[in-house]
Structures are given as structure tokens and as C-alpha cells.
A and B are shown apart, each in its own frame.
Chain A
Amino acid sequence: MTAEELRDTIARQFGRSLHIRTLDTGSCAVCEQEIRLLSAPHYDLNRLGFFFTPAPRHADLLLVTGPMIRAFAVAARKTYDAMPGPKIVVATGACALGGVYPDDPFTHGTVDAVLPVDVWIPGCPPSPLALLHGLGVAVGRLAEKVRDLPFTEEHYPERTRGGS
């Protein structure tokens, strides 16, 4: 099975119902606040077929926050191993992507040092909308956009005059 076929299979199987287990590997809990907001009436992620589950054995997607502190790496690995396949790991927030504690001796600095990450969601914290986009990317429902964004100002002509 090629990667392309595998991606199609995952999109078909997870596209309508996906169970999410969140994993806090030492975050400051603001990422968790934003994740909690996904269940709030304004975002209501259940309408998109996403559900939170308290057990990794029921989960299809592992939503990991925090810089992966060394004391938690074993538990993170066990959580990942307990999940049935196929499974998706999403690294959430700047800590998980290596931003805030890259050289801290008590952390691994990034989530992909311990777990095989499939989708990266930047942001500190990523807003619920960014998380929804990330979940959509994870199940292949939404397109990735960041590849084509240069982050130079010619790309944002309407913003050049007023500043940020």
C-alpha cells in the first residue's frame, strides 16, 4: 500500500468519526484551554465528527501539547502504543514544535523526539480555529496552506500601510 492509498484510506475511515485523546506533556495549560474551547457552543467540534475520548485505546488521534518533558516520555510512548492503528499524532503549539524549550535539560524540546508526528499545528496557543484546521488537515479534509505563504509583506498588500 502506497502512502497515497494509505492517506485515502485514513481519510475515508476517519473522515466522519474521529476520536481524540489529548496528551499534556508539560504544557502551561493554555493549549488545553483552547482544546477545551473546541467543545464549547461556538466551535462545537462534534458537528464535524470529532469526539474527545478519555482512553487511548479508544482513540484514533493523539493531540499532544507541551515540550515533552523527559519524565513523561515513557508515559507518552505507552499511550501511543496503547492506541489501535491506524493512528495519527498531532503536535500542538509552539512548545511541541520545539519553540519555547528547545535546550531545556528537563525536556526533549520537541514531541517528535519521542513520538512519530504526522501533523504540526503552530501557535502559542493555537486558536480553536487553528486546531479545527489542523484536525481537518489530519483527516485530509482541509488543504494545507502554509507551504505557499512566504511571510514577506508583498503577500499582504492590504496590511502594508496600516501596520499590524
Chain B
Amino acid sequence: MTLWFIRGLLRGVVTTRYPVRPDASAASLPTPPAFRPQALTRPTADRLVGICPSGALRRDGSVLVYDVGRCTACGRCAAEAPHAVTGSGEFELATTDRSTLIKEIPVREEAR
């Protein structure tokens, strides 16, 4: 009982200080992907649009329309095209304006 008490004191407070200070566990969260426009060609973009299970991606001409709100951070796009997609590490995505969650990623035009 005494040991248990002292061990608890030594371990300190486990509660996060989160909004005041950053939380260490945030680094290991699955986060929505970020794209690399230089590597994002039109065929790659179309392939990513095809495999996105939640309809977060849509190609509109030479722009990849990316709805972060719909993204489930499943990582399928990062597995499909690791050269063009990476984790963003962003988790503080709450917004009062839904349209701010819709991002436009430029798609590189192929040289013809």
C-alpha cells in the first residue's frame, strides 16, 4: 500500500495539459494526408480518387478537390502513392465554417 502510494506520487499527474501545452501523444495519431503537388500527376490523382473509400477526393480539371471533413485517415492513398502522399500530422481541424475543410491541391500537368 505504501509502495503503491509512493509509486503513484513519483509517476506524477497523468492528465494532459492539452490546450495550454501540446500533448505528446498527438504525434502518433492517424491524421489526414497531405499531398505533394510535384509528384501528383493526373493519372496518380485519378487513381487516388478511385481508391478513396469515403469520397473525400475528387478531381476537377487540374485541381484535386480534397474534403478533409470526409477523410477517414485510412491511409489507403498513402499506401497507393507513397511518393505523392504523406501524413499531415494535423489533428486540430475543428471549424465553424464547413467550406474551410475543402482544400484544392494543384495537379501537375503531364508534358506532352
User: Which residues of A are interface residues toward B (Cβ below 8 A)?
Assistant: 41-44, 47-48, 94, 97-100, 102, 112, 117-124, 126-127, 129-130, 132-134, 136-138, 141-142, 144-147, 149-153, 155-156, 159-160, 163-164
> Which residues of the partner chain B approach A112 to less than 8 Å between Cβ atoms?
98
Flag if A118 contacts B96 (CB, 8 Å): yes
The distance in angstroms between the C-alpha atoms of A64 and B88, with both chains bound, is: 26
CB distance from B95 to the nearest CB of A (A): 5
Tell me whether A122 and B36 are in contact (CB under 8 A).
Answer: no
Q: How far is the CA of A47 from the CA of B82 in the complex (A)?
A: 41
Q: Apart from A98-B70, A136-B94, A144-B96, what are 11 other A-B pairs with CB-CB below 8 Å? A: A43-B16, A44-B15, A99-B67, A124-B74, A126-B91, A127-B26, A129-B16, A129-B18, A130-B93, A137-B94, A144-B94
Are A151 and B88 neighbours in the complex by a CB distance under 8 Å?
yes
Q: Is the interface of A mostly helix, strand, loop or mixed?
A: loop
Q: Is the CB of A129 within 8 A of B25?
A: yes
Interface residue from B16, B67, B69, B96 paired with A137 (Cβ < 8 Å): B96
Name A121's closest neighbour in chain B (CB-CB): B94
Residue contact B69 to A122, C-beta cutoff 8 Å: yes
Number of residues on chain B facing chain A (CB within 8 A): 50
Chain B interface (Cβ < 8 Å from any Cβ of A): 14-16, 18-19, 23, 25-26, 29, 32-37, 53-56, 66-75, 78, 82, 85-98, 100-101, 103, 105-106
The reply to whether B29 and A127 form a contact with Cβ atoms under 8 Å apart is yes
Q: How far is the CA of A163 from the CA of B78 in the complex (A)?
A: 9
Q: Are B100 and A147 in contact (CB under 8 A)?
A: yes
